[in-house]
A and B are shown apart, each in its own frame.
Chain A
Amino acid sequence: MDTISKLLIITLSSALVSNVILSQFLGICPFLGVSKKIKTALGMGEAVIFVITLASIVTSIIYKYILEPFELTYLKTIVFILIIAALVQFVEMFLKRFVTSLYKSLGVYLPLITTNCAVLGVALTNVQKDYSMLSSVVNGFATALGFTIAIVILAGIREKTEYNEVPKAFKGMPIVLITAGLMAIAFYGFQGLL
């Protein structure tokens, strides 16, 4: 029971309270770049959930069973970035060969994820907070879920406001950033949740 409540707290705090985009600012590029349409935003979100969850599993296994026993923890940044890059390549090849339907829906987004700092950020947070393997996976999934929630909401707002009249200087990116700022204020309200 204790572990379940602990995992629930991790989920809530990663997905809502300290949302990966709106309060930690990781993964801003895809957040601003792939949020024009709800459908593409959802696709990106699914791919991120898939990759981050997988990356959390793999990085925490390698950290726990290879880096820690051999006292190589100072190499974590180098090892993690290489694992993530290799993992994304591998997942892409695997999906292409065996799960074609999933590849068709996620394929385009996968290469965009390697340099997404959210993936490395989650792996490092897991280590920093000394999470167990189960907690790491839950944290990874919840963080990615938070990413998806934020990007889909932003896409929804952008679809509605696309043809609104805004001052000339604020057309394009500035108005999107202001929207994101207002969303961040809304998400700030979750602060009292925990």
Chain B
Amino acid sequence: MNKAGTQFLNGFLKENPIFVLMLGMCPTLAVTTSAMNGLGMGLTTTVVLVMSNFLISIFRNMIPNKVRIPAFIVIIASLVTIVELLLKAYLPSLNDALGIYIPLIVVNCIILGRAESFASKNKVILSIFDGFGMGIGFAFALTCIGAVREILGAGEVFGFGIMPEGFIPISIFILAPGAFFVLAGLTALQNVFKIRGEKKGIVNTKIQSGCNSDCMSCGDSSCHSKFYGTEDDDKNIKSEIVENDLLILDINDDTEVE
């Protein structure tokens, strides 16, 4: 049980999917217009994540290695459909607020990433706690970002006005551009911690500076290189190209220009 607790804390703090791993940026930017929406999206994702980790961990020895990514996708998509129908029936207001982003939980990197890197290798109880920790960490991060945007953009948190009367809301923060600015501030803050850590001599390789490497590597390592890589050798070479694609493409460009 102690191990499960550690796994929970790991997902919540040490490897927080948004603040540390920078995964699942699309819903992060899109639905955090208010703290309530962020919380709703976070909890919905948590439910899907816990269930998918649970199911994938149960079936981990039954799914053939070659088709595991498609199998995971089918499991996740089914769970998302169930959750979507439940929300439609019991929480229609949340369903309307989140709209198309609920079915899009399917393509959230966090879920497939955890399925591939954790649930397919670990026991059921541990996987559930991993999913729970990651999900709560995700929900917490979304709520924080949503709250910041809501305070700056509307002067409220969860619909309660908290700013003094003279405060004029900077409405850009609840519009689309504000999402980019808040995320930029967040990433910059993370860089500050990273620079400080490096000065003290602590090198934390898990902390990455931004979406660039992580998002792409999430797509590569958890989906593509394996999805495409297990077919044959030719594809293996291809997936290596994909993994380093940014680097290689840039180099190619340089040589062609010269």
Interface residues in B189-236 (C-beta closer than 8 Å to A): 189, 191-192, 195, 209-212, 215-216, 218-219, 223-224, 227-228
A75 at the interface (CB under 8 A from B): yes
Is A170 a contact of B191 with CB atoms below 8 Å?
Answer: yes
Residues of chain A within 8 A (CB-CB) of B99 are 128
Closest-by-CB residue of A relative to B231 is: A89
Residues of chain B within 8 A (CB-CB) of A28 are 25-26, 29, 211, 215
Is B253 a contact of A37 with CB atoms below 8 Å?
Answer: yes
B73 at the interface (CB under 8 A from A): yes
B184 at the interface (CB under 8 A from A): yes
> Once the chains are docked, how many angstroms separate the CA of A174 from the CA of B184?
4
Is A177 a contact of B187 with CB atoms below 8 Å?
Answer: yes
> Once the chains are docked, how many angstroms separate the CA of A155 from the CA of B223?
26
Residues of chain B within 8 A (CB-CB) of A170 are 184, 188, 191
Residues of chain A within 8 A (CB-CB) of B109 are 29, 115
Is B100 a contact of A124 with CB atoms below 8 Å?
Answer: yes
> Once the chains are docked, how many angstroms separate the CA of A85 from the CA of B209?
30
Given A32-B212, A124-B103, residue A115 in contact with residue B191 (CB < 8 A): no
Is B180 a contact of A180 with CB atoms below 8 Å?
Answer: yes
Q: Mark B86-120, 1 if CB is under 8 A from A, else 0.
A: 00000000000001100110110100100000000
> Once the chains are docked, how many angstroms separate the CA of A78 from the CA of B112?
14
Query: How many B residues are at the interface, by size bracket?
Result: 35 or more
Residues of chain B within 8 A (CB-CB) of A85 are 70, 73, 227
Taking the closest CB of chain A, its distance from the CB of B42, in whole angstroms, is: 16
Is A114 a contact of B223 with CB atoms below 8 Å?
Answer: yes
Taking the closest CB of chain B, its distance from the CB of A137, in whole angstroms, is: 19
> Once the chains are docked, how many angstroms separate the CA of A74 from the CA of B180?
33
CB-contact partner of A33 in B175, B246, B253, under 8 A: B246
Is B216 a contact of A172 with CB atoms below 8 Å?
Answer: no
Interface residues of A: mostly helix, strand, loop or mixed?
helix
> Once the chains are docked, how many angstroms separate the CA of A74 from the CA of B88?
12
> Once the chains are docked, how many angstroms separate the CA of A125 from the CA of B104?
11
A100 at the interface (CB under 8 A from B): no
B239 at the interface (CB under 8 A from A): yes
> Once the chains are docked, how many angstroms separate the CA of A176 from the CA of B25?
14
Is A75 a contact of B73 with CB atoms below 8 Å?
Answer: no
Given A25-B26, A78-B81, residue A174 in contact with residue B249 (CB < 8 A): no
Q: Mark A25-45, 1 if CB is under 8 A from B, else 0.
A: 111110011101101100100
Q: Mark A3-31, 1 if CB is under 8 A from B, else 0.
A: 00000000000000000001111111100
Instruction: Please choose the segment from A63-71, A141-149, A181-189 that sits at the chain B interface, where 4 or more of its residues have CB less than 8 A away.
Output: A181-189
> Once the chains are docked, how many angstroms separate the CA of A181 from the CA of B187?
14
> Once the chains are docked, how many angstroms separate the CA of A169 from the CA of B250?
24
B4 at the interface (CB under 8 A from A): no
9 closest pairs, A vs B, by CB?
A173-B210, A181-B180, A177-B184, A29-B215, A184-B177, A25-B30, A78-B77, A174-B188, A25-B29
Task: Name B residues whose Cβ lies closer than 8 Å to a Cβ of A.
Answer: 25-27, 29-30, 70, 73-74, 77-78, 80-81, 84-85, 99-100, 103-104, 106-107, 109, 112, 172, 175-181, 183-185, 187-189, 191-192, 195, 209-212, 215-216, 218-219, 223-224, 227-228, 238-239, 241-242, 245-246, 249-250, 253
A–B complex contacts, Cβ < 8 Å, 10 sampled: A26-B30, A29-B219, A33-B212, A40-B253, A82-B74, A111-B228, A114-B227, A124-B104, A172-B212, A177-B184
